[in-house]
Amino acid sequence: MKARPHGRPGPPDRSVPPPPAHARTIVSAHAATSHADLSDLHPPVTPFETGVLDIGDGHAMYWEQCGARNGVPVVFLHGGPGAGIAPTYRRFFDPTRHRAVLFDQRGCGRSTPRASLTANTTWDLVADTERLREHLSIDRWHVMGGSWGSTLALAYGQAHPERCLGFVLRGIFLFRAREVAWFLDGMGTFYPEARDAFLGFLPESERATPLESYYRRLCDPDPAVYGPAAVAWSRYEESCSRLVPRVSDSPVDACLPLARMEAHYMMHGGFLEEAQLLRDIGRIAHLPAVLIQGRYDMVCPPVSAQDLHAVWPNSRLEMVPDAGHAAMEPGIRRAIVRALNDLPSPRR
């Protein structure tokens, strides 16, 4: 998707109609487990250090470290953009072996200002990640990211390959135009009722341009305008994110950073050139990578993981046969834990 001008969008039509009624591929084998049963993760942990880092442009970034102070360093890049971190994500890491670094990207979670699009681009986030590494005096680290986090992990790695030991990526998203188009419309092939609700939120005259129409609302300063749009956007994504769908009931405050920032990044093509992350894979091709992909991922379809795997000689693609997109689906989370448990320690 080509970048669009950075100016503020025009005012939206504030009338809101009611929604309508209506290489080396490994296939994982495992038994189904309730999403509520998280016994296959590591035990809950409390961070041994937290902080807020001034990253400039009026932004302050929350970060935390957990696990072993002298353990294998791994940085966790959350999805969205705009989703933020959660305590459950700490449980991907072995507290006796990993030194896990997690942070809320600009504008979300405990970072401030909340839901701000000012100086909020892929390359700002790449710079923030590197600034945090320097702040924590970590020489090199493994990079883990899922969904948008996989995009950011690739962008960071290609900008700073000398600081990376390897990658664990989940739900691959390369931010090509066709992937954005799939999110906006293609998911409706499998979830037509979710797409109908997503489009039905908009006046009929705006349904041919849903990204632009939602973006205008999400950038509006009036909570009565941006609030319902954020909820509608988030419900659409949530409805398509799992093998067994569930409807999001998150409040506006929780939905806004994710919806606003996802629309912002999509409007600007991820601040990347088309297929840039595939084109520049040579910068990190010598590093190992585990690519974990749900076979029925409707948000980030498996073709992107396959495309990345095909150009990355040191990658291993693990296709989870009974999973969609969400990180906490049983097969996905187990594959993440296995991949992290197998990380080698850095050479001294």
Q: What are the residue numbers of the active site?
A: 147, 297, 325
For residue 284, give both structure tokens: 């990190």
56: left (phi over 0), alpha (psi -120 to 50) or beta: left
Amino acid identity at 318: E
Q: What is the spatial order of strands in the sheet that 72-77 belongs to?
A: 25-27, 315-320, 289-294, 164-170, 141-146, 72-77, 98-103, 59-67, 49-56
With beta carbons less than 8 A apart as the criterion, state whether 179 and 112 touch: no
d(CA 297, CA 294): 5
For residue 304, give both structure tokens: 């992107």
> What letter would DSSP give residue 30?
-
Query: What's the sign of the alpha-carbon dihedral 120, 125, 131, 137?
Result: positive
What pairing do the DSSP bridges indicate for beta strands 98-103 and 72-77?
A: parallel
What pairing do the DSSP bridges indicate for beta strands 49-56 and 59-67?
A: antiparallel
Calculate Rg over the CA atoms of the chain.
19
Nearest to 116 by CA among 6, 219, 226: 219
CA-to-CA separations, 278 to 51, 58, 172, 283, 316, in angstroms, rounded: 34, 33, 12, 10, 16
